[in-house]
Amino acid sequence: MSAPLVPRLSVPKRRFTLVELVAVIAVLGIIGGALALGFGTATQGFIQGRDNMETAQQVQLAMQRITLELRFAALNEDTGEVDITVGDEGETTVYRSKRDGELHILTKVDSEVLLDRHTLMDTVNQFSIEFDPDESEVTIRMDVGMLGEFMTLVHP
Q: What is the pLDDT of residue 156?
A: 66
The pTM is what?
Answer: 0.68
- Beta partners for residue 92, in sequence order: 87, 107
Q: Say how many domains are in the chain.
A: 1
Is 57 inside a domain boundary? Answer: yes
pLDDT in tens, 74-124: 877 777 777 788 886 778 888 888 888 888 888 888 888 888 888 888 888
* Structural domain includes residue 4: no
**Residue 25 covered by a domain:** no
The answer to the question of residue 6 being in a domain is: no
**Residue 138 near residue 95 (C-beta atoms within 8 A):** no
CA angle (49 as vertex; 63, 36 as ends), nearest 5 = 165
CA dist 106 and 142 (Å) reads 13
In a domain, 59, yes or no: yes
Going by pLDDT thresholds of 50, 70 and 90, the confidence category of residue 25 is: very high
Q: Which domain holds residue 111?
A: 40-154
Q: Does any domain span residue 27?
A: no
